[in-house]
């Protein structure tokens, strides 16, 4: 499977904090009657903040979350945040009392510092603008803290030496002996038409962190781009073979695969193509760096794919590549552009939108959309296709709304299970039919900012 550059961070990690922020932003226009409570378990003394007690607290909350169409988030620092719709306040107060009793040995639950604040939990009446703004601010803060923890962990890791030819040979031998299906991940992209949204395709790729752990714990697989390129061609073939045997209840309407140019001309690709010809359409994504390195091979692969009706996607684009490179010369069916928060900022966003315009907004897929603001920015530019963790959360939420087993799951679990095609996480789902189906969704209309309408 392809990677953009050796230092790429890989697929985004969905955190409870990012899901909380997405949920907070999503309810902006439907706040009336909604209540949120932030339980500050991170303030407990370490000996009172045991995993077992926190699991009990979550189980205690589940009936109320289900009764009042709520959501619950366990943050990385052990805090719990839950949101409810039109709750009975007496029920909520009783539940908070029970939670306080669960941790009653800790001073946090009974010490009064004299400032009038409840140090154990914070209440937000989301129908009140000041409370809602404070809640969104808190959500943004914990999300950034989670990202910083992730960055700190990355810095703390021991720097692994890059893979060398000897190590590549050992990895190739090990790869031949393992089942890669448990490492395959999927992520949906959607197309929004008016106020409805449908799944456009499901992208399948290898989870590089798991591959690294299983095959090369003592070396960096991405440390040498050219050696990894050789490995990725073998990975392409293994994934194509595994996808043919994939035991899904429902095949996606369209597969999207990020492949090496050479892989499109392989026998394994022919076999996969034949096996799916009557079941699913096919979209193939090529990294822009690979296209630049082998433009002749790209054009040949593109024509071979188009001859039989497949879609060609140019991946790995961002604001800079759009501004300083003429990507129209590659004549793809779709162009996948990575979203960044800076794109939503005034003049910077205008420049990026202008750079996209020659491609045609109907051919843009905005990727790595981690918040509603990313979707709204894209809609305001005329973009209809989106992919990213906000989309993951939205799909899981709609799935749970129609699933008769949803009471046994959290939104985070549903998102994670959607992302795998085999293994224990999938078997834990009580409704694989829903897991493999694509729900129809309702989407908000584009909202024009004051600057855009001025």
Cα-flanking dihedrals φ and ψ of residue 163, to 5°? -60, 140
Give CA–CA dist 365/254, Å, rounded: 15
Give CA–CA dist 447/321, Å, rounded: 27
Give CA–CA dist 400/406, Å, rounded: 5
Name which of 12-21, 85-94, 281-290, 361-370 the model is least confident about.
12-21
Q: What is the pLDDT of residue 367?
A: 96
Name which of 4-13, 105-114, 132-141, 444-453 the model is least confident about.
4-13
What the chain holds in terms of domains, given with CATH numbers, is: 16-153 (3.30.70), 165-453 (3.20.20.450)
Does residue 404 register a pLDDT over 70? yes
Categorize the per-residue pLDDT at 56 as very low, low, confident or very high, splitting at 50, 70 and 90.
Answer: confident
Average pLDDT of the segment spanning 106-122: 80
Give CA–CA dist 23/415, Å, rounded: 14
pLDDT (tens digit, 9 = 90+) per residue, 176-186? 888 889 899 99
Contact status, residue 383 vs residue 361, Cβ threshold 8 Å: yes
Q: What is the pLDDT of residue 448?
A: 54
Does residue 171 register a pLDDT over 70? yes
Give CA–CA dist 252/198, Å, rounded: 12
Q: Which of 202, 214, 222 is nearest to 171 (CA)?
A: 214
Give CA–CA dist 107/99, Å, rounded: 14
Q: What is the pLDDT of residue 156?
A: 57
Collapsed DSSP state (helix, strand, coil) of residue 234: helix
Does residue 157 register a pLDDT over 70? no
Does residue 116 register a pLDDT over 80? no
31 C-beta neighbours (distance < 10 Å), count: 17
E strands, 207-289, where? 254-258, 281-287
Burial class (CB in 10 A: 0-12, 13-18, 19+), 245: exposed
- Average pLDDT over all residues of the chain: 87
pLDDT (tens digit, 9 = 90+) per residue, 27-43? 998 999 999 999 999 99
Does residue 164 register a pLDDT over 80? yes
Does residue 3 register a pLDDT over 80? no
Q: What is the pLDDT of residue 10?
A: 42
Q: What is the pLDDT of residue 330?
A: 95
Structure tokens at 410: 């959290």
Q: What is the pLDDT of residue 155?
A: 66
Categorize the per-residue pLDDT at 245 as very low, low, confident or very high, splitting at 50, 70 and 90.
Answer: confident
């Amino acid at each position: 499977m392809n990677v953009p550059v050796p230092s790429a961070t890989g697929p985004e990690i969905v955190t409870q904090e990012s899901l909380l922020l997405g949920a907070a932003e999503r309810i902006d226009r439907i706040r009336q009657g909604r209540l949120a409570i932030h339980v500050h378990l991170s303030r407990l003394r370490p000996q009172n903040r045991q995993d077992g007690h926190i699991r009990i607290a979550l189980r205690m909350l589940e009936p109320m979350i289900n009764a009042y169409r709520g959501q619950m988030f366990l943050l990385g620092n052990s805090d719990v945040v839950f949101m409810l719709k039109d709750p009975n306040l007496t029920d909520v107060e009783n539940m908070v009392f029970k939670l306080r009793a669960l941790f009653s040995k800790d001073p946090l639950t009974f010490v009064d510092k004299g400032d009038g604040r409840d140090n154990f939990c914070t209440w937000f009446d989301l129908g009140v603008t000041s409370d809602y703004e404070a809640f969104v601010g808190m959500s943004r803060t914990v999300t950034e803290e989670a990202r910083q923890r992730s960055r700190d962990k990355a810095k703390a890791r021991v720097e692994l030496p890059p893979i060398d030819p000897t190590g590549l040979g050992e990895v190739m031998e090990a790869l031949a002996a393992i089942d890669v299906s448990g490492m395959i991940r999927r992520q949906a992209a959607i197309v929004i038409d008016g106020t409805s949204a449908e799944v456009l395709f499901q992208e399948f790729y290898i989870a590089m962190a798991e591959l690294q752990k299983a095959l090369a714990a003592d070396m960096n697989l991405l440390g040498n781009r050219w050696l990894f390129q050789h490995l990725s061609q073998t990975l392409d073939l293994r994934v194509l073979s595994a996808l043919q045997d994939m035991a899904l209840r429902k095949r996606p309407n369209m597969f999207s695969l990020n492949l090496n140019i050479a892989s499109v001309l392989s026998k394994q690709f022919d076999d996969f193509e034949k096996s799916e010809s009557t079941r699913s359409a096919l979209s193939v994504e090529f990294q822009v760096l690979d296209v630049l390195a082998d433009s002749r091979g790209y054009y040949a692969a593109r024509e071979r794919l188009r001859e039989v009706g497949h879609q060609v996607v140019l991946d790995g684009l961002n604001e800079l590549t759009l501004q300083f490179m003429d990507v129209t010369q590659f004549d793809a069916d779709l162009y996948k552009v990575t979203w960044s928060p800076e794109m939503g900022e005034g003049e910077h966003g205008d420049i990026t939108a202008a750079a996209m315009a020659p491609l045609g907004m109907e051919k843009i897929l905005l990727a790595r959309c981690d918040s509603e603001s990313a979707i709204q920015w894209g809609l305001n530019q005329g973009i209809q296709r989106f992919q990213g963790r906000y989309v993951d959360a939205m799909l899981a939420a709609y799935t749970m709304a129609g699933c008769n087993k949803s009471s046994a799951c959290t939104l985070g679990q549903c998102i994670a299970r959607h992302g795998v095609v085999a293994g224990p996480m999938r078997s834990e789902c009580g409704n694989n039919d829903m897991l493999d189906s694509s729900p129809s969704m309702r989407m908000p209309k584009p909202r024009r900012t004051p600057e855009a309408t001025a």
